[in-house]
Amino acid sequence: MGLLNTVCQFLKIGAHNADESLNSAFQLDLVQQENRDHEEKLRKAKDVFNNNTAILMEKKREEKSLEETIRSVLAEGKKAHEKYTNALNDNNTEEANEWAEIMSGLGTDVTKLKSNKDLVSESVRLLEAQVAECNNIVKAFEKSIKQTAEEIEAIKVQEQFNDCNAQIIDSMKGLSIDDTDTKSKLDKYRKDVQRKSDLNSIKMADRQEPKSASEAFKAKINAEGEGLNAALEMFK
């Protein structure tokens, strides 16, 4: 009677494993889809990061060029002022007036150049902030993808265990109740199944933290709003 109960118990385990396989397959589909979504968002985030970085480098070169031009014009203005002063000292009013006009023009140029430089510098500051934010988003998606990949691996391990379990259960259906070794074999297998199941449960529990981290990251992106989507709209 004890042997019959043991066989029945294993048949129940087989039915339970079938349900577990369906749940694992459904969970695997969800996690794989989430991983694909994150990979697509990572690709877009990298595109925005690369575009913003290229624009930032261009703006920095423009800023540096304007700074050099301003220094050059200021140097010309200083020379013009010396010429103007010398002309006044020589009582050469006509020449002094010419240098005065030159200084006035150079002063106007410097004012315009400084205004342009200030605008470019502000663009550089904003782009640096955007590049830093894009870089954070890229790293967050890379971390999330790594975590979901680990979760996928854990689910696949569980599926393999369930499949192997089901095959052994099926093979046991043909065993003779009169087999004197059957009960000891079933008991040994039952203990082994329980041990492996406990170990796998621990592994699956370890994967829950990455999933919650992934959810926390998505909540952060939704809460902060503009980040990636605003950058994508700006530079698409």
Can you give the residue ranges of every domain in the chain? 2-235
Band of pLDDT at residue 228, cut at 50, 70 and 90: very low
* Contact criterion met (CB below 8 Å) for 163 and 46: no
Class of 2-235 in CATH: mainly alpha
Q: Bigger pLDDT: 158 or 135?
A: 135
Decide: 235 and 48 in contact? Cβ < 8 Å: yes
What integer pLDDT is reported at residue 156 of this predicted model? 83
Averaged pLDDT, 122-151: 92
* Three-state SS sequence of the chain: CHHHHHHHHHHHHHHHHHHHHHHHHHHHHHHHHHHHHHHHHHHHHHHHHHHHHHHHHHHHHHHHHHHHHHHHHHHHHHHHHHHHHHHHHCCCHHHHHHHHHHHHHHHHHHHHHHHHHHHHHHHHHHHHHHHHHHHHHHHHHHHHHHHHHHHHHHHHHHHHHHHHHHHHHHHHCCCCCCCCCHHHHHHHHHHHHHHHHHHHHHHHHHCHHHHHHHHHHHHHHHHHCCHHHHHHHHHC
**Rg value, the chain, Cα:** 37
228 or 204, greater pLDDT:
204
In this predicted structure, the answer to whether residue 51 has a pLDDT above a threshold of 90 is yes
Is the pLDDT at 230 greater than 90, yes or no?
no
> For position 11, what pLDDT does the model report?
44
7 has a pLDDT exceeding 90? no
Strand, coil or helix: 236: coil
Lowest mean pLDDT among 13-22, 120-129, 173-182: 13-22
